[in-house]
Amino acid sequence: MPETAKIILDGTEYELPVMTGSEGEKAIDISKLRDLTGHITLDIGYKNTGATTSGITFLDGELGILRHRGYSIEDLAEKASYLEVAYLLLNGTLPTKAQYTDFEDKIKEHTLVNEGLEGMFKAFPTGSHPMGQLISMTSALSLFYPKSLNPHRDDEAVNRTVLRLLAKMPTICAMIYKKRHGHPIVYPKNSLDYVSNYLNMTFGQVTMDNYTPDPVIVDAMNKLLILHADHEQNCSASTVRMVGSSQANLYSSTAAGIAALWGPLHGGANQEVLEMLELIRQDGGNVAKWVAKAKDKNDNFRLMGFGHRVYKNFDPRARIIKKTCDDVLNKLGIHDPVLEIAKQLEEAALTDPYFIERKLYPNVDFYSGIIYRAIGFPTDFFTVLFAMGRLPGWISQWQEMRKEKQPIARPRQIYVGEPPRPFVFMNDRG
Ligand code: ACO
């Protein structure tokens, strides 16, 4: 007997199907609720609404579990390369050696970007935010590949778009960095692996052939990209799916995801964390004062990098990244004063009843910024690195939605505005 949920409205009982996911999660299927009862459900911010079924990522916020296609994030971060994880997310299985080589080779075919794209930098004001630039550049890719505009035209064109996006994203991110510094662009070097190539395009120089990224940094970057690769139906992934549901092309859908990621409550938090730590340091390092401010409901200040919509125990990515952070700083011999503030803040927040009661723990963004800073990235570049990591996740979410031919996303609302009223001509409005 399939499980059902009963709902009584105006004395009439309705039965609704209950769905169970492969990890035992339960959902009441309300898709027919309005037809049956005339009612919709109201859930502002989708705090309790499943927008899709998905076979990509499993997350249990209470137990602190994160798995991609069944593999734990701990295993992937420790044992896989970023491109292996990208392949896994996109295809559902880990690649064989031959599949991996083929995937990597195909990506390498597309690492250059059209020279015309460089012209866009002339239009960006000096010092403009790298995320604004990344949104524009990603969106502009659609203009260079008009055949990609219809995502339902042919699978071949879509597959090429997927490879192009994965291949060009590091090149574009590195171009943004170089242009910011007024340095000439370093072209991709296809003899290097994905992460080393990105680091070379960013920190290498056209006048130097022998830049070799420190293996500690390559390893840390690889882990950071993996930890950011997907996170099921978060704000940016839902945005990508929502925009894609109107059958917008993948470049535009991805650009929309990057825009959603930019916000300080989402990916933009990694920049905010570092700015907050700097602020506390410059203010004299009185951590207790800032914890008190975060708890004060009359003060808008929040501890950036703390709390998460779904993790209410711990963020498994934060555990992995904390260790990477210690490793990187130790191996590079960096003594960063903001790290001391970060440690004190973490300790104070984790022992304070306000944070314990609300289950507010450090999230992935709390530590990632410290590593990015140690590697040498400017603060406002941190969210770009998050976007680069999240790309295979967005694409996988978009592909799943497209292949399942999901309908256009269109939430409903409860109108709470004015009742009908007659129009009054301007001269009679008093
Ligand atoms: N500092 C102080 N108080 C906080 C914080 C914080 N960082 N986060 C939540 N709270 C408090 C809220 O004031 C609220 O208190 P109340 O119940 O007394 O009103 C309670 O904890 C619940 O918070 P909500 O905002 O309702 O939780 P929600 O799930 O909507 O928000 C969010 C989650 C946006 C991540 C929030 O915790 C936050 O703003 N954190 C700081 C920003 C941040 O680090 N974002 C990155 C998230 S991870 C990512 O996107 C990759």
Give dist(CA 318, CA 57) in Å, integer. Answer: 17
CA-nearest residue for atom 41, ligand 1, is: 304
Instruction: Tell me which of 68, 230, 231, 365 is the catalytic residue.
Output: 365
Under CATH, what is the fold of the domain 72-266+380-403? Citrate Synthase; domain 1 (1.10.580)
Decide: 366 in ligand 1 pocket, CB within 6 A.
no
The greatest distance separating any two alpha carbons of the chain, rounded to the nearest whole angstrom, comes to: 79
pLDDT tens for residues 258-314? Answer: 999 999 999 988 888 999 999 999 999 999 999 999 999 999 999 999 998 888 888
What separation in Å is there between the alpha carbon of 283 and the centre of ligand 1?
A: 24
Q: Is there a catalytic annotation at residue 209?
A: no
Give dist(CA 259, CA 349) in Å, integer. Answer: 30
Indicate if the pLDDT at residue 147 is higher than 90.
Answer: no
CA 101 to chain centre: 26
Decide: 312 in ligand 1 pocket, CB within 6 A.
no
Range name among 61-65, 105-109, 415-419 with the lowest pLDDT average: 61-65
Q: Is there a catalytic annotation at residue 308?
A: yes
Q: Evaluate whether 304 touches 214 at the Cβ level (below 8 Å).
A: no
Indicate if the pLDDT at residue 43 is higher than 90.
Answer: yes
For residue 26, what are the β-bridge partners? 20
Decide: 331 in ligand 1 pocket, CB within 6 A.
no
Closest-lying ligand 1 atom to the alpha carbon of residue 363: 48
What separation in Å is there between the alpha carbon of 294 and the centre of ligand 1?
A: 10
Give dist(CA 215, CA 5) in Å, integer. Answer: 55
pLDDT tens for residues 85-103? Answer: 999 999 999 999 999 999 9
Instruction: Tell me which of 68, 230, 308, 315 is the catalytic residue.
Output: 308
Determine the average pLDDT of the residues in 200-223: 90
Determine the average pLDDT of the residues in 317-328: 88
Give dist(CA 375, CA 219) in Å, integer. Answer: 12
CB-side neighbour CA atoms (13 Å) of 103: 21
pLDDT at position 334:
84
What separation in Å is there between the alpha carbon of 396 and the centre of ligand 1?
A: 27
Residue from 235, 270, 309, 345 to probe ligand 1 pocket by mutation (most atoms less than 8 Å from CB)? 309
pLDDT tens for residues 373-423? Answer: 989 999 999 999 999 999 999 999 999 999 999 999 999 999 999 999 999
Secondary structure of the chain in the HEC alphabet? CCCEEEEEECCEEEEEEEEECCCCCEEECCCCHHHHHCCCCCCHHHCCCCCCCCCCEEEECCCCEEEECCEEHHHHHHHCCHHHHHHHHHHCCCCCHHHHHHHHHHHHCCCCCCHHHHHHHHHCCCCCCHHHHHHHHHHHHHHHCHHHCCCCCCHHHHHHHHHHHHHHHHHHHHHHHHHHHCCCCCCCCCCCCHHHHHHHHHHCCCCCCCCCCCHHHHHHHHHHHHHCCCCCCCHHHHHHHHHHCCCCCHHHHHHHHHHHHHCCCCCCHHHHHHHHHHHHHHCCCCHHHHHHHHHCCCCCCCCCCECCCCCCCCCHHHHHHHHHHHHHHHHHCCCCHHHHHHHHHHHHHHHCHHHHHCCCCECHHHHHHHHHHHHCCCHHHHHHHHHHHHHHHHHHHHHHHHHCCCCCCCCCCCCCCCCCCCCCCHHHCC
Residue from 46, 233, 301, 360 to probe ligand 1 pocket by mutation (most atoms less than 8 Å from CB)? 360
Give dist(CA 333, CA 354) in Å, integer. Answer: 35
Full-model pTM: 0.92
Determine the average pLDDT of the residues in 360-371: 88
pLDDT at position 294:
95
What separation in Å is there between the alpha carbon of 17 and the centre of ligand 1?
A: 33
Q: Where are the domains of the chain?
A: 4-50, 72-266+380-403, 271-377
Decide: 204 in ligand 1 pocket, CB within 6 A.
no
Under CATH, what is the fold of the domain 271-377? Cytochrome p450-Terp; domain 2 (1.10.230)
Under CATH, what is the fold of the domain 4-50? Rubrerythrin, domain 2 (2.20.28)
Give dist(CA 262, CA 268) in Å, integer. Answer: 5
pLDDT at position 206:
83
Give dist(CA 119, CA 330) in Å, integer. Answer: 41
List Cα–Cα distances, 197 to 106, 192, 353, in angstroms: 15, 5, 46
Closest-lying ligand 1 atom to the alpha carbon of residue 235: 50
pLDDT tens for residues 122-141? Answer: 999 999 999 999 999 999 99
pLDDT at position 145:
93
Determine the average pLDDT of the residues in 200-204: 95
Give dist(CA 385, CA 267) in Å, integer. Answer: 10
CA-nearest residue for atom 38, ligand 1, is: 307
Decide: 309 in ligand 1 pocket, CB within 6 A.
yes
Residue from 73, 317, 363 to probe ligand 1 pocket by mutation (most atoms less than 8 Å from CB)? 363
